Amino acid sequence: MTDQADQTIKVLRAGLDEFAALVNGFTEEDLARVSGASEWDVSQVLSHLGSGAEISLAALDRALSGEGTPQMDFIRGVWARWDGMSRAERAAEVVGVNEALVSRFEGLDEAARRDLRVELWFPVPAPDVAGFAGMRLSEFAYHTWDVKVAFDPAATLSPEATELMADGIASLIGFAGKADRLGGREAAVEVRTTAPERSFGLEIRDAVRIADVPGAPDAVLAAPAEWWLRLVSGRHAPEHTPDGVRLTGDALTLDDLRAVFPGF
């Protein structure tokens, strides 16, 4: 998995460089704008990205030293510190703490990238470096979009992040999808994405899950992969949906799919 780790770390670096250039130009008015996460202003997204980077760095450092996962007292303290910052303070600190995390990833040798396991502060198996960096990339990519879309309604996830995230979305579907939002209806959807090109099934029954392409789908969704990823994460409002998104078939509408994936 070292190749996957290497590529993910490179994409994290490219994303951070773009993010830093964006944040460094923000004014107080920019920081107060409503973000793509509608309950947060831009500075609150920066707070989330800052605290997440600080906690992730602690987890990585503790894995390297064999100390285990960060404790909740530490994590709550990090959240409280970022919550208590002014907007300007969040903007001033967010790039530096993300730089520290990405630099630590970049400094891992081949053995660590292959063998290290990072114990997390919630009950899941400890991921390897590729998996842990992938989790951070997903969080960073989505929340960078939350920032960018405050200034550009047509903002998209980066192509490099989309390429890496596209094949890992299945593990999120069961958590993100809410089958009961269809009011008892069921559907088998064929999903076709571009950039990268993928074809697979989406079952909405007792739960929501990725499946094989259905032989007789109730609907066919054709969309850029980056919008598919945003759909699953709840970043799918009509004003942020590109013209290339098409849903055919009478069983579902795009608004039905938006309801199934309300965000988190």
Answer for the pair 48, 40: CB distance below 8 angstroms, yes or no: yes
Q: Are residues 13 and 39 in the same domain?
A: yes
- What pLDDT was estimated at residue 99? 98
Q: What is the CATH number of the domain that holds 146?
A: 1.20.120.450
When divided into structural domains, the chain yields a total of 2
End-to-end CA, the chain: 29
- What pLDDT was estimated at residue 187? 97
User: Hunting for tokens 């250039």 — which residue is that?
Assistant: 21
Percent of the chain predicted with pLDDT > 90: 94
Two structure tokens written together for 93: 């600190």
pTM summary value: 0.95
Taking residue 187's Cβ as centre, other Cβ atoms within 10 Å add up to 21
DSSP state of 123: S
Average pLDDT over the chain reads 96
Q: 38 pLDDT exceeds 90? A: no
pLDDT band at residue 233, thresholds of 50, 70 and 90?
very high
The answer for residues whose C-beta is within 8 angstroms of residue 201's C-beta and 6 or more apart is: 188, 189, 190, 191, 210, 211, 212, 213, 214, 217
CA distances from 80 to 20, 100, 121, 179, 191 (A): 23, 20, 17, 35, 41
User: Hunting for tokens 């969309």 — which residue is that?
Assistant: 223
pLDDT digits (tens, 9 = 90+) for 243-258: 999 999 999 999 999 9
Q: Are residues 123 and 63 in the same domain?
A: yes
Query: Where are the strands (E) in the chain, listed by range?
Result: 187-194, 198-204, 208-211, 219-224, 246-248
CA distances from 140 to 53, 177, 204, 207 (A): 9, 21, 28, 27
In angstroms, the CA 157 to CA 196 distance is 13
Answer for the pair 230, 264: CB distance below 8 angstroms, yes or no: no
* Within-domain flag for 47: yes
- What pLDDT was estimated at residue 1? 60
Q: Which domain does 41 fall in, by range?
A: 2-155
Q: What is the CATH number of the domain that holds 205?
A: 3.30.1050.10
Q: Are residues 82 and 187 in the same domain?
A: no
* Within-domain flag for 134: yes
Q: 89 pLDDT exceeds 70? A: yes
pLDDT digits (tens, 9 = 90+) for 100-157: 999 999 999 999 999 999 999 888 899 999 999 999 999 999 999 999 999 999 999 9
Q: 2 pLDDT exceeds 80? A: no
Least confident of 148-157, 165-174, 237-246: 165-174
Q: Are residues 92 and 186 in the same domain?
A: no
